[in-house]
């Protein structure tokens, strides 16, 4: 069972994870730069691509993705957080816009200067797509 | 630049990473059980599969893989370590036996009871296969 401090950290990690998908979807390169760690070593493994190591190559690739001809509206479904002290791993499914999720992802964050910042992202194909979760009904 | 302590930790993480591929290749289920964290939360994302969360499901899947009809001789090429305090991320390519690498992987370890233990594994397809590195020539 998580302590109150861990629960708070878990919520903060989920907010950082949500800000990653928001930056992605809105092609907000500045937000993406702010999210990735400034000091800790970083790496990014896009689906079916080569390994990117270091802040420069990782952010260059994000800029290319964000300025590409087909903007991606990337959704994160079923995020699951594992707290490991000042490090946290989020696993989730990823889907484009309203389509079923077709990717599964690992997002790793570290606590840096009081903020949860991304140090690692890997996404790869799911064996079969997973329908988008039903939206939670508003309670009057 | 890494401190001497970090260099030692990096070597220990690489040994833990190598023991993962050794356990995999030798279908050594006991070694695999020993490698995965006992206390920290764990997850495993096999290529094209669903998410496995928790020591029970993760190790059950490894037992199924290891007792399957086609044993896998899994090789780890170009491991790269990022130290994050008591947490470490290894990225590498994976290939079967002598074949070119066809997968890219993220392996996360935490320092638990003085040992680097695995808490997370994701492997997914590379865009194109990567030839096996040439063996290092023996000196003399």
- Contact call for B104 and A42, based on CB within 8 A: no
B38, B117 contact by CB (below 8 A): yes
- Whole-angstrom distance, CA of residue A82 vs CA of residue A13: 10
Q: What is the pLDDT of residue B50?
A: 85
Q: What is the pLDDT of residue A50?
A: 85
B37, B110 contact by CB (below 8 A): yes
User: Does A20 score more than 90 pLDDT?
Assistant: yes
Q: What is the pLDDT of residue A48?
A: 81
Q: What is the pLDDT of residue B134?
A: 84
> How many other β-carbons are positioned within 10 Å of the β-carbon of residue A7?
12
Average confidence score pLDDT of chain A: 91
In whole angstroms, what separates CA B18 from the centre of its chain?
7
A28-51 tens-digit pLDDT: 999 999 999 999 999 999 988 889
**Range among A2-11, A14-23, B47-56 with highest mean pLDDT value:** A14-23
Q: Smallest CA–CA separation between A139 and chain B, in Å?
A: 31
Stated pTM of the model = 0.92
Strand pairing partners for A90? A81, A107
A52-82 tens-digit pLDDT: 999 999 999 999 999 988 778 899 999 999 9
Task: Give B115's Cβ-side CA count (13 Å radius).
Answer: 14
Q: What is the pLDDT of residue B4?
A: 75
Position with higher pLDDT, B78 vs A7: B78
User: Does B61 score more than 60 pLDDT?
Assistant: yes
Across the range B19-33, mean pLDDT stands at 96
- Contact call for B126 and A91, based on CB within 8 A: no
- Contact call for B122 and A122, based on CB within 8 A: yes
B97-124 tens-digit pLDDT: 889 999 999 999 999 999 999 999 999 9
Q: What is the pLDDT of residue A1?
A: 62
- Contact call for B84 and A119, based on CB within 8 A: yes
Backbone angles phi, psi at A40, to 5 degrees: -70, 150
State the ipTM, two decimals: 0.91
How many Cβ contacts (< 8 angstroms) between chains A and B? 109
User: Does B3 score more than 90 pLDDT?
Assistant: no
For strand B115-130 and strand B43-45, is the pairing parallel, antiparallel, or unpaired?
A: parallel
Which region, left, alpha or beta, applies to residue B114 given φ > 0 means left and ψ of -120 to 50 means alpha? left
Position with higher pLDDT, B77 vs A73: B77
- Whole-angstrom distance, CA of residue B36 vs CA of residue B54: 10
> How many other β-carbons are positioned within 10 Å of the β-carbon of residue A44?
23
Q: Smallest CA–CA separation between B139 and chain A, in Å?
A: 31
User: Does A122 score more than 90 pLDDT?
Assistant: yes
Backbone angles phi, psi at B127, to 5 degrees: -60, -45
Q: Using beta carbons and an 8 Å cutoff, which residues of A are at the interface with B?
A: 40-43, 45, 47-51, 53, 80, 82-87, 89, 91, 93, 104, 106, 108, 110, 119-120, 122-127
Q: Smallest CA–CA separation between B124 and chain A, in Å?
A: 5
Average confidence score pLDDT of chain B: 91
Tell which of A1, A79, A90, A124 to mutate to test the B interface (max B CBs under 10 Å).
Answer: A124
Which region among A2-6, A96-100, B39-43 has the lowest average model confidence (pLDDT)? A2-6
Task: Give A119's Cβ-side CA count (13 Å radius).
Answer: 27
């Amino acid at each position: 069972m998580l302590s109150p401090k861990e629960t708070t950290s878990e919520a903060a990690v989920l907010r950082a994870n949500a800000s990653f998908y928001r930056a992605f979807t809105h092609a907000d390169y500045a937000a993406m730069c702010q999210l990735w760690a400034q000091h800790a070593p970083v790496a990014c493994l896009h689906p079916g691509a080569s390994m990117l190591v270091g802040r420069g190559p990782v952010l260059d690739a994000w800029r290319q993705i964000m300025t590409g001809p087909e903007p991606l509206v990337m959704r994160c479904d079923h995020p699951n957080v594992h707290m490991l002290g000042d490090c946290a791993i989020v696993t989730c499914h990823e889907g484009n816009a309203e389509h079923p999720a077709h990717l599964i992802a690992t997002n790793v964050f570290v606590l840096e200067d009081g903020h949860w910042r991304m140090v690692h992202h890997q996404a790869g194909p799911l064996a079969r797509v997973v329908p988008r979760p039903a939206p939670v009904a508003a309670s009057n």
